Amino acid sequence: MNDQIFVDMAVLQQLERIANALEKLARGNAPEEPNLVRPIEEYRRFDWASIGASVVRQDSDGPTHLEYGGFVWSRRSPQNKFDGAIWYSRSAGKDTEGNVLYLRLITFREIKDVDPLPAKLARTLTAAPEAAAPVKNAQPAQPAEMPAEKSNEATSAQPVKTPAAKKTPAGNGRLAREDYLKQAVSKKFNLSAQAAEAVAQIAGIPDDGKDPRADYAPAMKLVPYFAECKALGIVKFTEARDILQKHQGDIEQALFDVRDSRQEAKR
């Protein structure tokens, strides 16, 4: 019996080593990226030791440089019209195309309100047993990084999970294809018709336009992101798409990444 236990333990250890090796291959040896998010209100009183970081230098506004994982992370903040935010990042070399890579330790930003849950779902949650109370000071689970599958064609992108679109009065919340294209190519967003079609594909909407019931509201939620990427100087549609996929459809985080990289490039 004892021999069998030792054999089982050895098999489990071997499987764990194989799993770790496969995960490393899937990540392409990419560096770890903490990328934590906290409300902007917590910045002044934040406990840096709670995430394993220490203050290297600071000014009247708080820490300017942090040490984490053997690296120095510098404070950044947008110097333009964008929503206020503070983050700590560092450069991590360049990719195969020569683009500078940036890793982010933590971002303090405004946590915006979301739409309330549908009444039926809210009643279901009320009837369900409550979950156990979270452990204090526990760090959030890190989101799995999306595999970076580079392609020169926007049509090769997998659908991105997008936030629920706000309902409009017409069509019971459904946004028709014609209305979507009209808004996407308007002066407000200034996307080309081809780019608008590609955005719809990223949102998981077929591009044939034959289904009159197709709802383009999810695609409309992505249009401001791609419009801002274009305004910030990202010429390649696939580059903006890959950044969004990297952040698993989180538009705000993707925009912070884009703005951060553009500011670093100007320094």
The per-residue pLDDT for range 183-215, each reduced to its tens digit, is 989 988 888 888 888 888 888 886 666 777 888
CA 234 to CA 242: how far, in whole Å?
A: 12
**Percent of the chain having pLDDT more than 70?**
67
Please write the tens of the pLDDT for every residue from 90-145. 888 887 787 878 889 999 988 888 788 888 888 888 877 766 666 555 555 554 44
Q: What tokens were used for 233?
A: 């100087």
Q: Please, what is the end-to-end C-alpha distance for the chain in angstroms? A: 66
CA 151 to CA 157: how far, in whole Å?
A: 8
Provide the β-strand partners of residue 55: 66
Please write the tens of the pLDDT for every residue from 220-234. 889 999 988 888 888
Q: Which of 45-49, 73-77, 234-238 has the lowest mean pLDDT?
A: 234-238
pTM, full prediction: 0.41
